Amino acid sequence: MADMPEFESEMHRTAVAQLDQVAERLHLDHETHIRLRYPRRALVVSIPVRMDDGRTEVFMGYRVHHNTALGPTKGGLRYDADVNMGEVTALAMLMTWKCSLMGLPYGGAKGGVRCTPRGMSKRELESLTRRYTAEIMLFIGPDLDIPAPDLGTDEQTMAWMMDTYSMTQGRSVPGVVTGKPILVGGSAGRREATGRGIVYVLYQAAHSLGEELKGKKVVIQGFGNVGGVAARMLWRDGAVIQGISDFQGGVWNSQGLDIRALDEHVKEAGTVAGFPGADAISNHDLLEQPCDILVPAATGSQIREDNADRIRAKIIVEGANGPTTPEADAILRTHGVLVIPDVLANAGGVVVSYFEWVQGLQFFFWKESEIIARLQEIMTRAFTRVWNVSKKENVDLRTAALMEGVRRVADAHQIRGLYP
Ligand code: NAD
Q: Give percent above pLDDT 70 in the chain.
A: 100
Which homologous superfamily does the CATH classification assign to the domain defined by 5-171?
Leucine Dehydrogenase, chain A, domain 1 (3.40.50.10860)
Average pLDDT over the chain, rounded to whole? Answer: 97
Q: How far is the CA of 195 from the centre of ligand 1 (A)?
A: 11
Nearest CA to ligand 1 atom 30: 320
The DSSP bridge pattern shows strands 73-80 and 145-149 to be parallel
Nearest CA to ligand 1 atom 36: 320
Nearest CA to ligand 1 atom 38: 150
Cβ of 126 closer than 6 Å to ligand 1, yes or no, is no
Q: List active site positions.
A: 110
Cβ of 353 closer than 6 Å to ligand 1, yes or no, is no
Cβ of 247 closer than 6 Å to ligand 1, yes or no, is yes
- The 10s digit of each residue's pLDDT in 237-285 is 999 999 999 999 999 999 999 999 999 999 999 999 999 989 999 999 9
Whole-number Å distance between alpha carbons of 274 and 257: 13
The DSSP annotation for 294-343 comes to: EEE-S-S--B-TTTGGG--EEEEE--SSS-B-HHHHHHHHHTT-EEE-HH
- The 10s digit of each residue's pLDDT in 343-361 is 999 999 999 999 999 999 9
- The 10s digit of each residue's pLDDT in 33-88 is 999 999 999 999 999 999 999 999 999 999 999 999 999 999 999 999 999 999 99
Q: Give percent above pLDDT 90 in the chain.
A: 97
Cβ of 321 closer than 6 Å to ligand 1, yes or no, is yes
Residue 112 CB partners (closer than 8 Å, separation 6+): 61, 62, 77, 78, 79, 80, 83, 84, 87, 88, 91
Domain parsing of the chain, residue ranges: 5-171, 193-336
- The 10s digit of each residue's pLDDT in 195-231 is 999 999 999 999 999 999 999 999 999 999 999 999 9
Question: What per-residue confidence (pLDDT) applies to 96?
Answer: 98
Question: What per-residue confidence (pLDDT) applies to 305?
Answer: 96
Q: Which CATH architecture has domain 193-336?
A: 3-Layer(aba) Sandwich (3.40)
Question: What per-residue confidence (pLDDT) applies to 4?
Answer: 87
Question: What per-residue confidence (pLDDT) applies to 10?
Answer: 87
pLDDT category of residue 1 using cuts at 50, 70 and 90 = very low
5-171 shares its CATH topology with 193-336:
yes
Residues 202/213, Cβ–Cβ less than 8 Å: yes
Nearest CA to ligand 1 atom 32: 320
Whole-number Å distance between alpha carbons of 160 and 389: 42
- The 10s digit of each residue's pLDDT in 102-161 is 999 999 999 999 999 999 999 999 999 999 999 999 999 999 999 999 999 999 999 999
